[in-house]
Amino acid sequence: MSTPKSHHLVYGTLKDYLTGEELIDTDDERIRQHISMLLVEKRGFAKENLIPRLTIETLFAQSFVTSKIDITILHNNKQALILRYGPGSLVSRERSAIAAARVLNPDYQIPFAVVTNGKDAELLDTRSGKILGYGLESIPYCDTLSTLVDNAVFSDPLTGVKKERELRILNAFDVERCCL
């Protein structure tokens, strides 16, 4: 089986800011690395509380999709917020981020999500689907997230039809499409 051609410019490799792992160097990956640095150096998160590149795999209608969660933030050893990066419009990424936060953890629903294109961001309440903040400044500081988490509900995990619905949303929104 041949490897599909990427539509991204590849500059070589780079060292992951959080893990030291060698990654393919693309424009998108450079933005992800910048976001990681922002979270540690400006927002006050410890590197060990930032988990990069978790995935959720789905298969519906003969379409296998691997959805990537760019960064998952831990608070008191609980996954409290997911961050998903993608170029372009944020509104088109809100629903899939909410779906991912609702199904990523098998023990509870993650209460917050951030969607960002590297220039703008939105902070989302994943229980209600409401936008809590706009702009890069809406990416919470460590102490702000602590306050948010103290008042948040970590809902029971979804099961059955409700879980399948969220997985279908992820599958539909995250299917790989060429952007050329």
- The pLDDT value recorded for residue 2 is 39
139-154 tens-digit pLDDT: 999 999 999 999 999 9
Please give the full DSSP string across 106-163, using - where no structure is assigned: SSS---EEEEE-SS-EEEEETTT--EEEESGGGS--HHHHHHHHHT---PPPP-HHHH
Please state the rounded mean pLDDT for residues 150-170.
97
- The pLDDT value recorded for residue 4 is 43
The number of residues in the chain equals 180
Please provide the CATH number assigned to the domain covering 49-174. Answer: 3.90.1570
- The pLDDT value recorded for residue 72 is 99
- The pLDDT value recorded for residue 179 is 53
> Per mean pLDDT, which range of 103-112, 122-131, 168-177 is the poorest?
168-177
Q: Calculate the dihedral angle through the C-alpha atoms of 73, 77, 79, 83, rounding to the nearest 10 degrees.
A: 0
Beta strand 112-116 with 78-85 is parallel
- The pLDDT value recorded for residue 25 is 94
26-75 tens-digit pLDDT: 999 999 999 999 999 999 999 999 999 999 999 999 999 999 999 999 99
Map out the domains of the chain as residue ranges.
Answer: 49-174
Please state the rounded mean pLDDT for residues 148-162.
97
- The pLDDT value recorded for residue 1 is 35
Mean per-residue pLDDT of the chain = 94
What is the pLDDT confidence band of residue 176, given thresholds at 50, 70 and 90?
confident
- 0.85 surpassed by pTM: yes
